[in-house]
Amino acid sequence: MRIVDLLDARSINLSANPKTKSEALDQAVELMDQSGKLSDKEEYRKKVYAREEESTTGIGEGIAIPHGKCDAVLKPGLAAMVIPKGVDFESLDGEPADLLFLIAAPNTEDNVHLDVLSKLSMLLMDEDFTKKLKAAKTVEEFLKVIDDAETNRDEASEETKEEGKKFLIGVTACPTGIAHTYMAAEALEKKAKELGLSVKIETRGSGGAKNVLTTEDINKADGIIVAADTKVPMERFKGKKVLITKVADGINKSEDLIKKALAGQVPVYEGGSSDAEEKTEYDESLGRKAYKHLMSGVSHMLPFVIGGGILVALAFLVDTLCGYGNIGETHPELAGSFGMLTPLSAWLKYVGGLAMGLMVPVLAGYIAYSIADRPGLVVGFTGGLLASSGNALLSGYLDTWKTLGSNGGVIQKLMFQHSGNTVSGFLGGIAAGFLAGAIVLLLKKIFANLPAVLDGIKPTLLYPVLGVLCISILMCLILNPIIGLINTGLSNGLNWMGDHNMLIVLGAVLGAMMAIDMGGPINKAAYVFGTGMLTQAATELANGAAQGDVKNYYIMMAAVMVGGMVPPVGIAIAELIFPKKFTKDERGSIVSNFVMGAGFITEAAIPFAAADPGHVIPATMIGAGVAGGLSAAFGCTLMAPHGGVFVFATVGNPLLYVLAWVIGSFATALLLGALKKNVNE
């Protein structure tokens, strides 16, 4: 459907002069009604205003595209207004709107308004196009500008088809959105170009979605690949053949994926509440689905951990630089205040602590979101808040209940078992997320047969009220008391290992785990454990523990990070010492490997591991294990969850930490020299 086919000369005003946003919308609705596209003007007006209340349709650059879809629309239509003096439309960039297109779509399943919105958006990105529209003197000239632009765009598309190039599109996403996302996109793009294809890959990384696919892209695609280990928007692909796979396959099996997608050897995406529920040729196992949900939560949590954790670490650094590093020895009564002994450090720790305090609720919320879509968020967030806060706030009411005759003893036994530690923390957050998702899915099934007129109250009333009630009962009465005991046992166990010099073994195991699959489940398990230790440390410090009491937690985080920094650097050193073991292309990555290793981006080693797993993985695993074990043996601590060399200033025993890193990296390099064979170029 062409844009000009939806416009009627009666629905175009080139000299509109509304004073407010409401006036602009009202005038546009009147224009739409004059074109005969509406059966009930007032009903349509309500839909347009309701859509505007969700978020402004003033997209910026002087452009607004309000729209409404309802039964009051007889057939798809457009109304257009040029507003020479502009009007405040609450646009995203704060600038007045001087060009407005109103879209009317009938209440059908074809979502024609989305197609029109996509076409309009693409054309309106051209500044010359919008200038010509605003400068049009007559309605006929206005329509001709649109017709010419649309014709030129269609011709350009036809030229691409005449070149004989098939068009491949895809989406890549990984839990952290740092390396795998872009490596998979690059691999697919590179291989597609080698095969003579036209290609566009959308990346959904830590910086947000880039190179986003349009409706036009999806409609003209000859093949679609979604290589993702976390939730991505899938409903747009409904009815299309889509190859859904893990992000690692996008890196390692790009050619195979492309050929299958183009050959149509993949199922049709039927839609659903979650991409993870769809059956693909890979037919995900229950464990794989659980991993994707967990990683969805972890990917949303990481910015809070990293941002807040580094600010807290800087607070400790400031106090150390100000001469308060040994405050526990000189003033034992102030040991618990370390990190808050100067105004600057206190502010950093306050802000960082607030950010870190959100990480468990965010983790739980987005696990639930991945499982049950948007209705899972509120239930998951509530479960996460209860996990991070525990039941302690209720304990203050026990005496009151007893005074009023209530049986506080029963409540105490139910909610504050044993030692009273009911903060389930990181583990509780994971459990809360999965439980919340399951609760909402169950509620959806229970209320599936309600009358359609009640659909609106499901996500706004039934799911949140009943879901929050259910998760609260489960967290307060079962999970918080039980997992609180587990956390206490974990804390005691770590301290026991420290007293018996066994932290070295744990540090070596965590370091080795970081280098086995380099961003995969094993690597993520080690990293999640390390960040969980930071969470536990923050919880215990908030409850009055001294800095020395949580030292072992920071030792574990240090072992995790140094283990993750070894593989790329070890490979780079091997490339320098044993150049005959690597191809010319591989040797070209020496500098990038050093840089990425120093930045704690383990994924830089993936191409080497994929090309020669039998030799590379054992070498990197042993080297990383050596580094992790030495770091623990040296008593190195780390209070920041990410950053590599950029947070070394916050490391305890930094010189020994660097030594552990260097020794582990050289161990990897020497093993690669011994294990790998010379290459023939």
Q: Write out the catalytic residue numbers.
A: 67, 174
Do the beta carbons of residue 7 and residue 78 sit within 8 Å?
A: yes
Q: Which residues contact 517 (CB under 8 A, 6 or more apart)?
A: 523
Residues in the chain: 681
CA distance 544 to 6: 67
Do the beta carbons of residue 64 and residue 71 sit within 8 Å?
A: no
Q: Which residues contact 126 (CB under 8 A, 6 or more apart)?
A: 149
Q: Of 320, 340, 427, 432, which is closest to residue 384 (Cα–Cα)?
A: 432
Neighbour count for residue 59 (Cβ, 10 Å): 17
- Measure the N-to-C terminal CA separation of the chain; round to a whole number of Å: 54
Q: Which two structure tokens, joined as six digits, stand for 230?
A: 């976390």
- Three-class secondary structure of residue 69 per DSSP: strand
Neighbour count for residue 456 (Cβ, 10 Å): 9
Q: Of 536, 490, 204, which is closest to residue 359 (Cα–Cα)?
A: 536
CA distance 70 to 389: 45
Q: Which residues contact 646 (CB under 8 A, 6 or more apart)?
A: 599
Q: Which two structure tokens, joined as six digits, stand for 253?
A: 């099996």
Q: Of 311, 309, 317, 319, which is closest to residue 340 (Cα–Cα)?
A: 319
Do the beta carbons of residue 269 and residue 237 sit within 8 Å?
A: yes
CA distance 509 to 527: 12
Q: How far is CA 372 from CA 71, 231, 367, 449, in A?
A: 29, 11, 9, 18
Do the beta carbons of residue 354 and residue 308 sit within 8 Å?
A: yes
| φ, ψ for residue 677, nearest 5 deg | -90, 160
- Name the percent of the chain in helix, strand, coil, to the closest 5: 65, 10, 25
The pairs formed by 532-535 with CB atoms below 8 angstroms and a separation of 24 or more are 532/425, 532/426, 532/427, 533/557, 534/305, 534/309, 534/356, 534/639, 534/641, 535/356, 535/359, 535/360, 535/425, 535/426
CA distance 448 to 466: 15
